[in-house]
Structures are given as C-alpha cells and as structure tokens.
Amino acid sequence: MNCIGCRLAKKQENVLVVYETATLTCILDYMPFNPGHVLILPKQHAAEVEELDPKMGTDIMEASRFLSKAVKAAFDPDGITIIQNGGGFNDLGHYHMHVIPRFEGQDFAEFFSEEGEPAHEEDLAQAAQKLIRVIKEMEQHARV
C-alpha cells in the first residue's frame, strides 16, 4: 500500500513529531492554518472514522484532549478547532484528525479555504520546539 498517511505516521517522510504513543504519531501540519496546527495519525491504516476500532477511537480522542491543552499552553489561542475530514475531503487517504489553534477574527469559512502555502521549515521547527517543550512539561506534571 502506498498511503501517504501511513508513511507520515511511520515517519518514513520528513515530519516534525510533537507527540507519539504506541498507536499514534502526532505531527505538525506542513501547511498550518496557524502555528501549532497538529495532525493526529493512527499508525495502523484506516481511511475513515468508521474503520477505527473502539480503542483507536479512544486513543485519538485522548490525544486530541491532551494536544488541545498543550496547544493552548504553547500558543495562547482564543480557541481550538478539532476537525476530521472524511470521504472525498480526506486528502491523505488515511484517517487523521486536526487540532488547530484559532484566533478571534478568523472567519470559519475563510479559515478553511483550500488556498495556502507550506510553512517555512524554520517556522515549523520553532513551533515544534515550543509545543514539544510544553508537552514534556505536561507529561512531567502528570507523573508527579
């Protein structure tokens, strides 16, 4: 299978991993709507939400909850949008969930326009470092 989502989740492509579990790889989107835009990718292939087993669905929701806290702490957005696009709108052919920081004044319709350009590598690297630092702090507090 030549699935770009599987290759991203298995780190066979150039990705910036910000969080990883046994079942998921969470990376920065290379065409972010805002800095800190994360993709949650299952390591096991599934194209649609209904193909996920219940445990994977739970793992994805737990990761979205954890990453929402981390994105809020790292980027101080006015809110978070969590979205999953299926069917003809799934541009990876692999299930993935977006966790996106949003700011006041960003119209929802314009915010999700198809136009956009890849972020500069240095901007992505800075966003990754910031988010990874916050995630490490959150994990340390959880262990205490």
> What does the pLDDT average to over 81-87?
93
pLDDT > 90: what percent of the chain?
A: 81
Tell me the residue range of the domain where 25 lies.
Answer: 4-105
For residues 73 and 110, give the distance between their C-alpha atoms in angstroms, rounded to a whole number.
25
Cβ atoms of 110 and 64 within 8 Å: the answer is: no
- Domain annotation covers residue 135: no
- Domain annotation covers residue 133: no
Q: pTM value? A: 0.90
- Domain annotation covers residue 19: yes
Residues 120-129 have pLDDT tens digits of 899 999 999 9
Pairing relationship of beta strands 97-102 and 24-28 according to DSSP bridges: unpaired
- Domain annotation covers residue 140: no
Mean of the per-residue pLDDT values for the chain? 92
Q: What contacts 34, CB < 8 A, 6 or more positions away? A: 75, 77, 100, 101, 102, 103
Residues 46-59 have pLDDT tens digits of 999 999 999 999 99
- Domain annotation covers residue 85: yes
The type of residue at 82 is: I
The type of residue at 62 is: E
- Domain annotation covers residue 33: yes
User: Number of structural domains, the chain?
Assistant: 1
CATH number at residue 86: 3.30.428.10
